[in-house]
Chain A
Amino acid sequence: MSNQKIFLEPIIKNNPITVQVLGICSSLAVTSQLKPSLVMAVSVTVIIALSNVIVSLIRSWIPKNVRMIVEMTVIATMVILVDQFLRAFMFDVSKQLSVFVGLIITNCIVLGRLEGFALHNPVAPSLFDGLGNGIGYGLVLVIIGFFRELLGSGKFLGAQVIPDGLYDAGYVDNGLLMLAPGAFFLLGLIVWLQRSVTGQYEED
């Protein structure tokens, strides 16, 4: 499989959220506004890519019986590094994401890519696989974050976009979208839309 295909596949066709149904928790939790969704998308992409590269580099030395522990150590190290960098250089965003940066450790996509790909593949394809999966994950987050912020609080990246006149005329922000179930509905719609376009069905 070419690097290009490895990179593009997880973005739509084999999207980690909408097709593999991984990483649902954080896609519901951090998407109430667009900005944290974006930062989360970038953070997860960086972490998957770096962890993939590192595990791929040392893959021939990793003893099979302790491979999970090695993978988790690599992920945890990367996550803490990203968290520390955010706190030093993007303090406002790190405040907004709060606990969810740390929780990237538990994001199944990261461990899934290490187990499923980086452990058996050379460095370059692992890098592309990591980037592709991160972007596939991030894309869904950004779409959900965009609609939740727009419909839930009438804003785009923190700036009000729904005109005051509309509120005066009786328009009300949809409070459901600020809650996790609202994100779940949106996610369902995205999965529906994607599958009706690609024609993909789960096997019985």
Chain B
Amino acid sequence: MQDKKFYSFIFISIIALVSAGLLSFAVMFLRPLQERNEAVEKKKNILLAVGLVYENNTPGPDEILQMFEGAIEPIVVNQLGEKVESGLNVEKINPELEENKPPDQQCLPLFLQKEKGQVVSYCLPVFGKGLWSTIYGYLALEKDRNTIKGITFYKNGETPGLGAEITQTWFTGNFRGKQIFDNTGNLVSVRVVKGKVDPASPGLIHEVDGISGATKTCEGINSFLLKDLAKYQVFLQKQRD
């Protein structure tokens, strides 16, 4: 009996070791490819948000990297709206980890789209909880720092066909032209409503058509857009005054 238990123990240990070894090897081997995919995905989404490339018609990975190099200047700002000259690699900044720091020490990445040396749009990372998962995306503003130029969501674990529809252009397209500041200059962000936006609504310029069956996901988007825009608020308002 004792022998049998010992045999089971040895057998399970061998199975566990072999599995662990196999998986470690696979992960080690595939990690560089996956990291490249993720980096290209982020840059592609910044380009999508500012409208330099279009969904369903995106160029290959090399071209994406090249376009990004040519058109986008990544910078770092803080919550006081000042540019931080940290010499940090902006792409290495993880906005999620920055959130755990005290507000005055947070480094906020910002991607400037430039044309002939002039900034034509501002793109910032947005992220937060949806229904099941954390949603990651980029929000681009026109040079007035108020009107939304585009938005993309590049990573989420929402229900396929429902919450995950937030990545579709028919949804993200609804954000275009909406404004994040009201007439008196207060940050109101934009709000995804239930169903269609009522054309008679006084807040029309801040409201976006929702997705039926994805109310919780959309509520999540509403709260994290406001949260992230608030971090950049001072910087965004500086230019407007």
Contact = CB atoms under 8 A, between A and B. Distances in A.
Contacts of A33: 160-161
Residue in B11, B156, B158, B160 with the greatest tally of chain A CB atoms within 10 Å = B160
B200 interface: no
Contacts of B27: 84
Residue in B133, B156, B162, B164 with the greatest tally of chain A CB atoms within 10 Å = B164
Interface residues of A, number: 35
Contacts of B133: 98-99
Interface in B8-23: 8, 11-12, 15-16, 19, 22-23
A30 B159 CA distance: 9
A85 B8 CA distance: 31
B8 A65 contact: yes
Interface in B63-87: none
Contacts of A188: none
Question: What does DSSP make chain B's interface, helix, strand, loop or mixed?
Answer: helix
Contacts of A91: 34, 37, 41
Contact of A100 (B19, B26, B160): B160
A62 B132 CA distance: 38
A68 to B, nearest CB: 11
A29 interface: yes
A199 interface: no
B64 to A, nearest CB: 13
Contacts of A63: 4, 7-8, 11
A70 B132 CA distance: 30
A77 B22 contact: yes
B213 interface: yes
A32 B23 contact: no
B172 to A, nearest CB: 15
B213 A81 contact: no
Interface string B14-49: 011001001100110010011001000100000000
Nearest to A36: B160
Question: What does DSSP make chain A's interface, helix, strand, loop or mixed?
Answer: helix
B13 to A, nearest CB: 11
B212 interface: yes
A89 B11 CA distance: 34
A74 to B, nearest CB: 8
Contacts of B103: none
Interface in A37-78: 61-63, 65-66, 69-70, 73-74, 76-77
Given A69-B12, A73-B19, A89 B160 contact: no
A81 B7 contact: no
B33 A89 contact: yes
19 contacts: A30-B160, A32-B162, A65-B4, A70-B12, A70-B15, A73-B15, A77-B22, A77-B23, A81-B22, A81-B23, A81-B26, A84-B26, A87-B34, A88-B30, A88-B33, A88-B34, A97-B160, A178-B161, A178-B162
Interface of B: 4, 7-8, 11-12, 15-16, 19, 22-23, 26-27, 30, 33-34, 37, 41, 132-133, 154-162, 164, 212-213
Given A70-B11, A85-B26, A98-B158, 14 more contacts: A29-B159, A36-B160, A65-B8, A73-B16, A85-B30, A87-B30, A87-B34, A88-B37, A89-B33, A91-B34, A96-B164, A98-B160, A99-B133, A100-B160
